[in-house]
Amino acid sequence: MEKEILAAIMASTSDVDMMTNDRIEALTKGHGMLNIAAICAANSIAEEVLRGTEIRLTDHNVQQLPIDDVLKKAINSAELAGADPANAALLSATLCYLAGTNAQAGVPAGNRKLGAMARMIAGVDRCGVLAIPTAKVNNKISGYAAVKAIYDDIFDGKLTQINGSIIPLGVGGGPLMGMVL
């Protein structure tokens, strides 16, 4: 009996079209999961980096930088995998940052900040973690509740012992401040 089971397993796994998996369909196209969208965006960025595309932000006086094209491809890949445009922009900007793109360049103009560039390419309004939709059934809390809890603790002075008004300019945020969508 073991030989027959092994033969059936080998036959079904020899060609992916012979297998069905409802979970693959459930991970895409509006089911609230970003797993496949994140992988697609990451693959798109990796292809461009391996191709030698310059992914750094610069303050050159040009309308477009190579990173614009990289972000557009990553955002399109994430959207094709089911991410809404706001999530696609956030994923793509974050993945580019992790791949080595600086968060901003020169004067903090909108078209030279990584998060803002991704948001403009995706055609979405300014947003952040507050706007990320949460899947219907999972163990995550919604973005709104998490952001509200953080702000409540900030205003109550419970989040940190450090008084932000005495921190020197530029110390508090660093490069991550440019990532804010």
Burial class of residue 37, CB neighbours in 10 A (0-12, 13-18, 19+)? buried
**Token output for 30:** 């509006």
d(CA 180, CA 79): 20
Residue 154 lies in a domain: no
| Residue 32 maps to a domain | yes
Query: Is residue 47 in some structural domain?
Result: yes
- Please tell me the number of Cα atoms within 13 Å of 97 on its side-chain side: 22
* Domain count along the chain: 1
Confidence (pLDDT) at 18:
58
- Domain contains 100: yes
pLDDT (0 to 100) of residue 168: 58
| pLDDT tens-place values along the chain, 181 residues long | 678 787 777 776 776 665 555 555 555 555 556 778 888 999 999 999 999 999 988 888 888 889 999 999 999 999 988 888 888 998 999 999 989 888 877 666 656 788 888 999 999 887 666 655 555 555 555 667 777 888 888 888 787 776 666 665 555 444 444 343 3
**Residue 82 domain-assigned?**
yes
pLDDT at 24: 59
168: in domain: no
Domain that holds residue 84: 2-128
The SS3 assignment for 113 reads: strand
Residue 147 covered by a domain? no
- Residue 170 located in a structural domain: no
Residue 172: predicted pLDDT:
47
